[in-house]
Amino acid sequence: MVNRDDVNWDTVSYVISSEVRLKVLIHLIRNASTPTNLSEKLSEPMSRISTTLRELMEIGAIECLTPERRKGKIYQATEKGKKIIEVIHNMTDIR
């Protein structure tokens, strides 16, 4: 369980305010994935997935496991990203 004092509520609000950010982060907690796979699985355009991945990396919620690759980069959630989703799960019925 996450200590409420350890939570950056602005970051939680930022993630929960976008359905796409939320869906991408939840997916990356379950499975590492490429942008193409995320686009197909979540039925979102590649441009939106690319923007969302950049946003989530900027807040430290996800990381790129293959930063040297030009194509087919693989992303996964960080511990911070997992904590953000845990807080969201505890305050909502979003799963």
Which pLDDT tens digit goes with each residue over 51-90? 999 999 999 999 999 999 999 999 999 999 999 999 998 8
Q: Give the pTM.
A: 0.89
Which pLDDT tens digit goes with each residue over 21-57? 999 999 999 999 999 999 999 999 999 999 999 999 9
Q: How many domains does the chain have?
A: 1
The structure tokens 């919620």 sit at 61
Residue 21: which CATH number?
A: 1.10.10.10
Tell me which residue of 76, 61, 91, 63 sits closest to 1, measured CA to CA.
Answer: 91
Q: Which long-range contacts (CB under 8 A, 24 or more apart) does 1-9 make?
A: 1/86, 1/90, 2/83, 2/86, 2/87, 2/90, 6/83, 7/83, 7/87
Q: What range does the domain containing 79 cover?
A: 4-91
Whether the pLDDT of residue 13 is over 60: the answer is yes
Residue 91, pLDDT score: 84
